[in-house]
Amino acid sequence: MSDQSLQTLGEFIIEKQDDFQYSTGELSRLLSAIRLASKVVNREVNKAGIADILGKVGNTNIQGEDQQKLDVLANEIFITALSQREVVCGIASEESDDFIDIKCGPNGDLSKYVVLIDPLDGSSNIDVNVSVGTIFSIYRRISEPGTPVIKEDFLQKGTEQIAAGYVVYGSSTMIVYTTGNGVNGFTLDPSLGTYYLSHPNMKFPRKGKIYSINEGNYIKFPQGVKNYLKYCQMMEGDRPYTSRYIGSLVSDFHRNMIKGGIYIYPSYANAPNGKLRLLYECNPMAFLAEQAGGKASDGFTRILEIEPTELHQRVPFFCGSIEMVEKAEEFMRMDAIKE
């Protein structure tokens, strides 16, 4: 099939605009801003070996993690693209201590949307040429338009998301997103600088054969997780399953959605609340997973139902094919009952 016969991301956004209950064109412009920023970040990622953008900046972010040069660059690119389009009133980034209030025009900001973003997920892998990504989540503000945004605009449950998605910068660059009407993937043609619909109506297989977890931390895992891993490795029926762990959430999620699998980042001794951020990583991925027929929980509770209390809140994360997540939850419950 030639590129000319494929639908572009821009065409798709316009065509599906009426599916969105608040169809004003703002959401379309917002998604277009993300599309533009992703192309710029893709260009920088692909220059990583020849430009001075590898390595650490020398600073740490709000989570106490070393910031990579590309973390900072990607953060600036997305904030600039979103703020200059006059389509968002606020941005919260995993790389920033606090949210950013954005003013648009002389009468203050009248936009209805806030964006939460992880500008470069898996950036510690950049130096070794492993796939990285961007994760974004969009909410309708709860404060009055025209007034400054408030923290509560960002501290909304995942069920309130009106769009979410990710960009994966890998062997090809893709945008995968949902507005609550299924999940669709678009691949960038670098020769034209255009995203084309390549993966319509993406779905998790109900059951997969891949489990993705950093088994190097096994000794620190909750007993329920240890028991589930033993189950995955047992020679019985369609098991043992295959272990695949890249260390970039976007990449692990993307592979498991296509092939069938479960991603787990549990709590453990050094991270009693888990490591992944609820607002920047877990909520958008949970929204995508559910829209693709999968499931996401903290081992006990549906991720999208968790009430956020802080911008950089962390939670354990079990996400993927529905039968695999439910089996993992079963082991977690059994261990909790024993305790």
> What's the CATH number where 226 sits?
3.40.190.80
199, 234, 259 — which closes off a domain?
199
* Residues 186 and 220 placed together within one structural domain of the fold: no
**320 pairs with which residues across the strands?**
262, 295
> What's the CATH number where 153 sits?
3.30.540.10
* Residues 221 and 159 placed together within one structural domain of the fold: no
The annotation status of 94 as a binding-site residue, yes or no, is yes
The annotation status of 107 as a binding-site residue, yes or no, is no
**Residue 62 scores a pLDDT above 60:** no
The one-letter code for the residue type at 59 is N
What is the percent of the chain where pLDDT is above 90?
71
* Residues 120 and 58 placed together within one structural domain of the fold: yes
What average pLDDT score do residues 40-58 get? 66
**Residue 237 scores a pLDDT above 50:** yes
What average pLDDT score do residues 266-276 get? 91
* Residues 183 and 237 placed together within one structural domain of the fold: no
The answer to whether residue 221 is domain-embedded is: yes
Per-residue confidence (pLDDT) for residue 313, from 0 to 100: 97
The annotation status of 123 as a binding-site residue, yes or no, is yes
What average pLDDT score do residues 220-239 get? 96
The answer to whether residue 264 is domain-embedded is: yes
User: For 179-275, where are the E strands, in sequence order?
Assistant: 184-189, 194-199, 210-212, 242-243, 261-265
Q: How many domains does the chain have?
A: 2
Per-residue confidence (pLDDT) for residue 15, from 0 to 100: 86
Give tens-digit pLDDT for 153-178. Answer: 999 999 999 999 999 998 899 999 99
160, 176, 199 — which closes off a domain?
199
* Residues 195 and 149 placed together within one structural domain of the fold: yes
* Residues 171 and 229 placed together within one structural domain of the fold: no
Cβ pair 185, 199 in contact under 8 A: yes
The annotation status of 120 as a binding-site residue, yes or no, is yes
pLDDT band of residue 67 (cuts 50, 70, 90) is low
The answer to whether residue 94 is domain-embedded is: yes
* Residues 251 and 166 placed together within one structural domain of the fold: no
Residues 6+ apart with CB under 8 A from 266: 213, 221, 222, 225, 274, 299, 316, 317, 318
The annotation status of 56 as a binding-site residue, yes or no, is no
Q: Is 126 helix (H, G, I), strand (E, B) or coil?
A: helix
* Residues 167 and 29 placed together within one structural domain of the fold: yes
The answer to whether residue 92 is domain-embedded is: yes
The answer to whether residue 204 is domain-embedded is: no
Domain extent at residue 300: 210-338
pLDDT band of residue 338 (cuts 50, 70, 90) is confident
Q: What is the residue-wise DSSP string for 255-308?
A: HHHHH-EEEEE--BTTBTT-SSBIIIIIHHHHHHHHHTT-EEESSSSBGGG---
Per-residue confidence (pLDDT) for residue 320, from 0 to 100: 98
* Residues 114 and 171 placed together within one structural domain of the fold: yes
Q: What is the mean pLDDT of the chain?
A: 89
* Residues 283 and 191 placed together within one structural domain of the fold: no
Per-residue confidence (pLDDT) for residue 1, from 0 to 100: 44
* Residues 277 and 174 placed together within one structural domain of the fold: no
The answer to whether residue 17 is domain-embedded is: yes
199, 230, 260 — which closes off a domain?
199
The annotation status of 229 as a binding-site residue, yes or no, is no
**Residue 275 scores a pLDDT above 50:** yes
* Residues 159 and 303 placed together within one structural domain of the fold: no
The answer to whether residue 55 is domain-embedded is: yes
The annotation status of 177 as a binding-site residue, yes or no, is no
